[in-house]
Amino acid sequence: MEKNRAASIPNSPIGYGILLSLITFLALLLAAEIAFRFTPVCDSVYSTTTTAADTVYRCRPNREVFLSAFWNFAMQNKVRVNNAGFVSDLAFDADDPRPLLAVVGDSYVEALWVPWPESLAGRLHQALSPDYRVYAISKSGSPMSQYLVYAQFARDTYQPAALVVVIIDNDFDQSLPRYKHNPGFHQFVGDGSGNLRLVLTPYQPGWGLRLARHSALGRYLTINLGVQHTHHRIGFFLNPESYYRDPSAAGNKAKIRDCKPVVDTFLKRLPKAAGLPPEKILLVMDGMRPDLYDDQRLAQTGETFTGVMRDYFMNAAAGAGFEVLDMQGIFAGHFRENGQRFEFPRDPHWNSLGHDVVAKAVLSSPFISTLRQRLSHSCPER
């Protein structure tokens, strides 16, 4: 017995070295895990799985989530995920008799980096309450195709009286799986007859991600440092303006050809998905940043992929009866007058000022004036 036990223990210098290295490595991991539990490491929003039975991508409900970014936790915020699984200080109530303004979008609407009262939806709710309530139905990473799913979810669950949809520059190509693999979201796929149909790519987090969610060290590496996206982060850190500079339209003719049907299909299906006519839907188009901070570069945006797609989208939307709010000129004019940028120094999302300018533009739009007039004459149908 004693001989067998002795034989199981490494008795060579190499064996002892390997064992010692393994013990040291595990001890360092444990020490790092303990240390990072005392730092403001970003929590996970715990995105839910999406399947054929549950197709609406959202977050685990009823949680407060502490967020931070970068190696030194330079950006920090705390948000609440409500009962419906969306970031909002409001609990969504399908039985609330007040008319609803639903706001649909991606991370710009979800607004993880500003306090909810300072977000677009939060500001709209404060301005329109108590006559209206405002629900933000959004998830970071959503493309334009996913907005149809969220609009239908709002229709089926809360019956909104009106809808605001925020359109971002990457919404066009990321609606197609050939340009981005997007688990959890619906994207457009050709049906073989020249039309596009919505197809869900199911999302099921792997064991590595599930483990990292419960580890402070794992979250620091994957969320704060984003080790899986190191090349993107380095590029943005070294030169954020050139890194986000839009590619030319001339070099992206095939992509433009692919993305125009995305716009056409989205605009055609949106009224039915939302259960609303086009005149009760406001489409907010983000400005092209950082181009709009420089008049010379702004004048050249029409020659870029995003510039072409923005113009195509806005013209098609106006022709289909939607009201379109273009933030380009509004942002540019505000910057000329005040010299303040609308995004974070190390993150392209709207900062509090950006949300404020967009909210004021929405509230000053004919769309909101009509909404208020409708309420003063008669309650919108629920």
Give me the percent of the chain exceeding a pLDDT of 90.
Answer: 71
Over residues 46-80, the pLDDT tens digits come to: 888 887 788 899 999 999 999 999 999 999 999 99
Arithmetic mean of pLDDT, 197-213:
83
Kind of pairing between the strands at 196-200 and 281-285: unpaired
Q: What is the DSSP letter of 205?
A: -
Strand ranges (DSSP E) for the chain?
A: 63-69, 75-81, 100-105, 133-138, 162-167, 186-190, 196-200, 281-285, 323-326, 343-344, 347-350
The answer on pLDDT for 212 being more than 80 is no
* Opening angle at CA 316, ends 314 and 318, nearest 5: 65
The answer on pLDDT for 155 being more than 80 is yes
Omega before 290 within 30 of 0, i.e. cis = yes
Q: What is the DSSP letter of 118?
A: G
pLDDT of the residue at 34: 93
Three-state DSSP class for 211?
A: helix
Over residues 316-354, the pLDDT tens digits come to: 999 999 999 999 999 999 999 999 999 999 899 999 999
pLDDT of the residue at 380: 46
The answer on pLDDT for 9 being more than 60 is no
pLDDT of the residue at 382: 42
DSSP 147-170: HHHHHHHHHHHH--SEEEEEE-GG
| Rounded Cα gap, residues 302 and 58, in angstroms | 35
| Rounded Cα gap, residues 214 and 210, in angstroms | 7
- Of 85-89, 230-234, 325-329, 342-346, least confident by mean pLDDT is 230-234
pLDDT of the residue at 374: 81
| Rounded Cα gap, residues 219 and 213, in angstroms | 6
DSSP 189-254: EE-SSS-EEEEE--B---HHHHHHHT-HHHHIIIIIS-GGGHHHHHHHHH-HHHHTPPPBSGGGHH
Q: To which residue do tokens 């400005």 refer?
A: 287
Question: Which CATH fold would you assign to the domain 63-377?
Answer: Rossmann fold (3.40.50)
The answer on pLDDT for 112 being more than 80 is yes
Instruction: Say which residues have a Cβ less than 8 Å from residue 53's Cβ, sequence separation at least 6.
Output: none
pLDDT of the residue at 183: 93
Arithmetic mean of pLDDT, 149-160:
98
Give the other-Cβ count within 10 Å of 22's Cβ: 10
Q: At what angle do helices 253-274 and 305-319 cross, to 10 degrees?
A: 30
Arithmetic mean of pLDDT, 28-56:
88
| Rounded Cα gap, residues 103 and 199, in angstroms | 23
Residue-range domain boundaries for the chain: 2-36, 63-377
pLDDT of the residue at 88: 98
CB 285 within 8 A of CB 139: no
DSSP 37-82: TTTTPPPP--BPPB-SS-----B-SSEEEEEEETTTT-EEEEEEE-
The answer on pLDDT for 207 being more than 80 is no
pLDDT of the residue at 33: 87
Confidence of residue 250 (pLDDT cuts 50, 70, 90): confident
Mean of all residue pLDDT scores within the chain: 90
User: Between residues 12 and 214, which one has the greater pLDDT?
Assistant: 214
Over residues 257-316, the pLDDT tens digits come to: 999 999 999 999 999 999 999 999 999 999 999 999 999 999 998 899 999 999 999 999
Q: What is the DSSP letter of 288?
A: -
